[in-house]
Amino acid sequence: MMSARLEFNAVHHAYGNAAVLHGVDFTVEPGNIACLLGASGCGKTTVLRCIAGFEALHSGRVTLDGEVLSEPGLTLPPEQRRIGVVFQDYALFPHLTVAGNIAFGLRDRSSTERDARVQQLLELVGLPGAGRKYTHELSGGQQQRVALARALAPRPRLLLLDEPFSNLDVEMRERLSVEVRDILKREGITAVLVTHDQNEAFNIADHIGIMRGGRIEQWDTPYRLYHEPQTRYAADFIGQGHFLQGIILDDGKVRLEVGEFTPDAPLQWPAGTQVDVLLRPDDVLHDDASPMQATVLHKAFRGAEFLYTLQLPQGGRVYSLVPSHHNHALGEKIGIRLELDHLVAYPREAASAT
């Protein structure tokens, strides 16, 4: 299968007088999996509909391997785009068998070729021998695998996945999202996923675009989004964390109530600027030998670890992930130390305005 390059260039879109997309711009390289991540109403599903050809563009352009799919005055019909879509509700045909569903998009192929492709995909999605079953005989996770196989059957240039795991329980979502990434990588297909679940996004995507109000707040790798969020909104939206108040010193360091720290790169604000510094749970380490003490306010048991909410002596709060054999009581003081590999700071004025 040939992987395709998707370019979504400066796209604006509105429903009537209600603007939904405001100059959305991103590129997905061949064989990569991208994710549009955001809260309901941010515009992420509209982006998917514009790529699929279900919506005409008001301005901008969508191309796939250089072929123009959409621009003002031109909307290539969805059936001519060679784009597969996996929907939230699976959209399987109940009157067809599993094999019949997968073969639905292969009606122009010979029966031999069609049967071979169906068997190949049943193996690929982990459902060998299920071809004669009907979809109501399958679990939700199995039905989603069938929907994925059906979308992959005609060898699309691009695959779109619209909240594909939202009807599944948490454990199944986690497992299936990892499996789907493996399947897409084995097929070498370019894909775009839409979700509001950042765990899904992190499990699947090579690049993630955080959407807010019809714009992309940040387009980056999952690692950089977590450790180097470019805006306060991205920092709040991704992962967990608390902000500690700090001040920039003459030597460029930042003073917090837990010590002085040197940023990875010089901060853009002058000495004396008050800032909020993001601390993730993995920045705060439990250390019995440390003179720095914090009080346990809350704890959440997660099996292998506890997520502690800790209060610092001057009132600041932080999270800390601690191995679960360190079972401390509420109100107990424990030793902590900070390992800030990525110091993320925002001016306090900007933080209070958001």
- Segment 36-66, tens digit of pLDDT: 999 999 999 999 999 999 999 999 999 999 9
- CATH 3.40.50.150 describes domain 6-232: no
Average pLDDT over the chain reads 92
| Confidence category of residue 340, pLDDT binned at 50, 70, 90 | confident
- CATH 3.30.1520.10 describes domain 240-353: no
Q: What is the pLDDT of residue 351?
A: 42
Which residue is listed with tokens 């515009």?
A: 43
Question: By three-state DSSP, how is residue 322 classified?
Answer: strand
157/64 Cα distance (integer angstroms) = 8
Please indicate whether the domains covering 6-232 and 240-353 agree at the CATH topology level. Answer: no
Closest CA to 183 of 159, 202, 162: 159
C-beta separation of 152 from 121 below 8 A = yes
206/157 Cα distance (integer angstroms) = 18
Would you kindly state where each structural domain of the chain is located, as residue ranges?
6-232, 240-353
Across the beta sheet with 6-15, what order do the strands follow?
18-28, 6-15, 59-64, 67-71, 74-75
Cα atoms in the 13 Å half-sphere on the side-chain side of 182: 9
| pTM score of the predicted model | 0.89
Q: What is the pLDDT of residue 342?
A: 85
| Confidence category of residue 349, pLDDT binned at 50, 70, 90 | low
